[in-house]
A and B are shown apart, each in its own frame.
Chain A
Amino acid sequence: MPANKKYLTTSPWLRFSKIMAGAVGGYAVMLSLHLLLTTVFPRENVLATAFFTGYILWAFLLLWAFVAKNVWKVWLTYISLALLFAVPYFLMQPV
């Protein structure tokens, strides 16, 4: 049997919003997290680690956008996490 429709998103806009939140937002979180790590660890090591952790983390973040009950909460979480990681990274850059 196919999945029970009762639990699925019916609005195409909401579905699109989920895909975008997971794909774009998830990517922003993944990238900013790894960039922040370069301030602590050697950049080439972080980059090599990201070959594995980056893509797997991104896939999980994409999945969470579908599982979460409210897509706006996902957007909010991803935007704040991305900012949380990116702001200290850019502040720590030598000018």
Chain B
Amino acid sequence: MDNRKYNIYFHTHTVSGIIICVLLYVMFFAGSFAFFKDDLAAWQKNSSLVANRPTTQRNFNELLDSLGRHHTLRGRNMEFFLNKNGASAYVSMLGSNDSLVAKEAKALALAKAKAQPAGEKGKRGRGRGRGGNDDAAYFSYDFTHKKELDYERGYDMGEFLYRLHFLAPLNAIRLPIPLGAPFGYLLAGVVSFIFLFALLTGLLLHWDKMVSNFFTFRPWAKWKTVWTDLHTALGVIQFPFQFLFAVTGIVLIVNSVLLAPFTKFAYKGDDAQLQSDLYHTDATTYAYTYTPLPTAFDLNRLLAQVEGKWAHSQVTRVFIRNFQDANMHVIVLAAPAADASFSGMGKLVYRVRDQQILHETAPTAPSSYVDKVRAVLYHLHFGDFGGRPLRVMYFVLGLMGCVVIISGILIWLVARDKNSTPARERVFNFWTANIFLGICLSMLPVTAFTMIVLLFLKAPGQSDIYHWYFYSWLALGGYFIARRNIALTNRQTLLLSAILCFLLPVLDGVVRHNWFWNTFAAGQFDLLFIDLLFLSLSALSALALVRVSQRKGITDPPKLAVASGR
């Protein structure tokens, strides 16, 4: 490779990397924990999904009955989105196709809105009876405890870290000009694309020496060499994993970059057709007949039949059209288990009146090319095709990504800490690295701390998690930035992580009697897993801390001229 190209790759890699490093670290860190989203949720709610699963009955009839107590259901379209964990669903109840019912509902909703103080209207969020001009409802339903949960109160640490990993909390920032996507998602998409660019330049940069550098690790050399070796070796090992996440991440968060022009040109603006091509959405409308359904309808029985027919698959979506009308239809969609068929989508259209199946595709039937691409995309990004061992592997690779990012920041700083660099630039470089590392390294202790706090709060919701997590992050990050000592930031975050990650399972035992042996005996393996996960993180932090202290004697950490200055 000629010198010119090498230096261009080098520079573009450095600049793109340093621009995104903090946000990318947040995305990798939170995203790694998000692989255990359900386990974190179960841990926080102290209600094991694993232990409850065998006894949880998904009683849809009861759910419909309870909805019917507050709403006239006749003629409505309803949609159930079933969660993978099998214990809960998002329920969306749309307006009625019966003009009489719709009119009544509208009048009722209007009267309700009038009775309410004007200020409260906007705050209702995603709860029941959202302030529109009909009484459509969107909520989450827990089959185990048979209760509705509105979004704010159903919020948990798993959801929080999952949403943090695509920067959803930043959606609160409103853009002065609309760009087609909320700010947080847009930013996450831009970061993912720059990440893809940094990966390519990084790979090309090391292309000539890939093999020799891969086997180079000099742990006893000076720090800069250690970081460089770490960055290169881990970066190369991880390249396929990170590349996969960069590409699938872009597709999952800002695919409108591609979809919008495709809708406009290749689909001539027919968005419904594109959605149906990609996601099997069904825009078919079934005529409303204003004649009541002559027979009784049992949704549980229908779903049990479908599940019996389609082994090795899971019902994911259930759509009801024209509820209780003579022309009532039910559409059931199911995803195959990854080991039965990697891709595919089962679909069944059922006419209730004469119990006729109008259309049936089995989940394990040969699937289309689009289905295959989508399956690769989703399975690879969510790591949901190999059970817990695979997710643990993904988690470890994800945290290794964090190490690559941190070592990258350190190389960037140390490479510029020379006498030939102007003093002003060196001060700037030091502060940049100081701030970046203060933010990044305090994430692990803050996560453990917030989860410990949640043990002591009664029914914590979204705002509690936001407050405890972001304020403690601000405080700890601010403290480390003010100390202006990167080595100290490293040591103290390791110490805090070791202590807090150890306290988490211990306090879980003290406060809730969820000692390791108790959760093990009760078969609450998801709760046990989170306790063990944090225990291992504590041990790792302690080990790293010991190693760092031992090394102090061998070679002193780099003395940064500006660090000790004003």
**B-binding residues in A (CB < 8 A):** 1-4, 6-8, 31, 34-35, 38, 43-52, 54-56, 58-60, 62-63, 66-67, 89
Contacts and interface: CB of A to CB of B under 8 A. Distances in A.
Contacts of A67: 5, 8-9
Given A59-B193, A63-B197, A2 B278 contact: no
14 contacts: A4-B7, A7-B11, A8-B8, A35-B262, A43-B267, A44-B278, A48-B370, A52-B373, A55-B196, A58-B193, A59-B196, A59-B200, A63-B197, A66-B12
A1 B413 CA distance: 10
A3 B10 contact: yes
A11 to B, nearest CB: 15
Contacts of A31: 258, 261
B255 interface: yes
Given A3-B11, A63-B200, A89-B265, 13 more contacts: A2-B415, A2-B416, A3-B14, A7-B4, A43-B266, A43-B277, A47-B258, A50-B262, A51-B247, A52-B373, A55-B193, A59-B200, A63-B204
B18 to A, nearest CB: 11
B324 to A, nearest CB: 36
Range class of the B interface residue count:
35 or more
B373 A55 contact: no
Contacts of B416: 2
Contact of A56 (B201, B247, B377): B247
A47 B264 CA distance: 13
Contacts of B3: 4, 7
B149 interface: no
B374 interface: yes
Contact of A59 (B11, B197, B274, B278): B197
Contacts, number: 93
Contacts of A6: 7
Given A47-B266, A48-B373, A59-B197, A8 B11 contact: yes
A35 B260 CA distance: 12
B374 A55 contact: no
Contacts of A89: 265
A60 B261 CA distance: 20
A31 to B, nearest CB: 6
B250 interface: yes
A64 to B, nearest CB: 11
B262 A47 contact: yes
Contacts of A51: 247, 251, 255, 258, 373, 377
B220 interface: no
Q: Chain B at the A interface: mostly helix, strand, loop or mixed?
A: helix
B197 A48 contact: no
A60 B200 CA distance: 8
Contacts of B10: 2-3
B14 A2 contact: yes
A55 B247 contact: yes
B369 interface: yes
A58 B8 CA distance: 18
A38 to B, nearest CB: 5
A42 to B, nearest CB: 8
Given A35-B265, A48-B370, A63 B12 contact: yes
A19 B42 CA distance: 46
B278 A55 contact: no
A-B pairs with the 9 shortest C-beta distances? A7-B7, A3-B11, A44-B277, A3-B10, A48-B373, A3-B7, A48-B370, A43-B266, A7-B4
A7 B6 CA distance: 9
Contacts of A46: 266
Contacts of A52: 247, 251, 373
A60 B243 CA distance: 13
Contacts of B259: 47
Interface string B376-389: 01000000000000
| A31, A38, A46, A51 interface centre (most CB from chain B within 10 Å) | A51
A45 B267 contact: no
A93 to B, nearest CB: 9
Contacts of A55: 193, 196, 247, 250-251, 258
A62 B265 contact: no
